[in-house]
Amino acid sequence: MSRHMLRFVQILTLLKRWIMNKKKKGSRSFVVYTAIVVALIVALFAVNQLQEKKENTDKKMGEAPSIEGQPVMGDENAAVTVVEFGDFKCPTCKAWGESLWPELKKEFVDTGKVKFSHVNVLFHGEESRMASLASETILQLHPDQYWTFHKALYDAQPQNHDDTWVSEDSMLEIAKAAIPELDEQKFLDTIKADATADAVNQDISLVNKFNVQLTPTIMVNDKMIANPLDYAAIQAAIESELK
Ligand code: CA
């Protein structure tokens, strides 16, 4: 049950109790009270429906997130930009990447209609930050290998995503396995020196600017998709921007 529906049911219960009370007291205005209450219920229901509709609708944000300095996959001249705000510690992001992303890539990125970018979200504390630093480091040192590392990170996420798995050591191991030409020393030095902190902070500013509340959050140009797991909604938003 949604938050709104729950509140609605609570209000209904209160009103019912109130009516029963009036009835017991034998109030002469019982009919009037009941009519008022019924009118109130109808009004509440209408407001509730409107609210739910508003929250479940894709939202125009007025501008698209800047992808300057971000990893970009696909034709840089593509008319539509899809940005995923994601967190390597987030299980839904991993699921999104495995279930929905391959289809999106095949239909829109590989065909040159969409360029795709990823912005780090740090909703899971220090581990999110370390994974973000590591991915920004790969973007800096081996930009061609960014998406390989990106996928390797999500692949490494354990079944129980609350388990601790992100550390300097694990980042190095995952990077070594994914990128044969990895400059290991430079990778470690860059992470230890916090040298990609500016890039991570730039991502945090975007998260704040667009008021990102959940991961993944998907934006199609300036439109924020209400349900990131609804492929048809993403598809429709892209098609409408392509027109
Ligand atoms: Ca970034």
Residue-wise pLDDT tens digits, 123-156: 999 999 999 999 999 999 999 999 999 999 999 9
Q: How many angstroms separate the CA atoms of 7 and 114, rounded?
A: 41
For residues 169-190, average pLDDT: 97
CB 53 within 8 A of CB 198: no
**85 CA to centre of ligand 1 in angstroms:** 10
Burial (0-12, 13-18, 19+ Cβ within 10 Å), 165: middle
Residue with tokens 């998406």: 147
Q: How many angstroms separate the CA atoms of 86 and 62, rounded?
A: 21
pLDDT at 27 over 80: no
Name the band, by pLDDT with cuts 50, 70 and 90, for residue 183: very high
For residues 39-63, average pLDDT: 79
The larger pLDDT score, comparing residue 57 to residue 22, is at 57
- Taking the model in full, what pTM does it have? 0.79
Phi, psi at 112, each rounded to 5° = 80, 10
For residues 205-226, average pLDDT: 97
Amino acid 1: pLDDT:
47
Amino acid 26: pLDDT:
64
**115 CA to centre of ligand 1 in angstroms:** 15
Please give the radius of gyration of the chain, using alpha carbons only, rounded to the nearest integer.
24
**141 CA to centre of ligand 1 in angstroms:** 14
**33 CA to centre of ligand 1 in angstroms:** 59
**104 CA to centre of ligand 1 in angstroms:** 21
Report helix, strand or coil for 159.
coil
**226 CA to centre of ligand 1 in angstroms:** 22
Mean pLDDT, the chain, as a whole number?
A: 91
- How many alpha carbons fall within 13 Å on the CB side of residue 178? 23
**28 CA to centre of ligand 1 in angstroms:** 68
**119 CA to centre of ligand 1 in angstroms:** 5
**Residue 229, both tokens:** 């797991």
With CA atoms as reference, report the closest residue to 238 among 63, 84, 104. Answer: 104
CB 98 within 8 A of CB 158: no
**198 CA to centre of ligand 1 in angstroms:** 9
Amino acid 236: pLDDT:
97
With CA atoms as reference, report the closest residue to 189 among 140, 118, 151, 150. Answer: 140
**135 CA to centre of ligand 1 in angstroms:** 8
Amino acid 154: pLDDT:
97
CB 39 within 8 A of CB 75: no
Give the model confidence (pLDDT) of 119-131 as tens digits.
Answer: 999 999 999 999 9
Give the model confidence (pLDDT) of 189-215 as tens digits.
Answer: 999 999 999 999 999 999 999 999 999
**11 CA to centre of ligand 1 in angstroms:** 45
**46 CA to centre of ligand 1 in angstroms:** 42
**222 CA to centre of ligand 1 in angstroms:** 18
For residues 56-77, average pLDDT: 94
Q: How many angstroms separate the CA atoms of 203 and 121, rounded?
A: 7
CA distances from 40 to 15, 25, 46, 137 (A): 9, 22, 10, 58
Q: Name the β-bridge partners of 146.
A: none
Amino acid 5: pLDDT:
59
**125 CA to centre of ligand 1 in angstroms:** 16
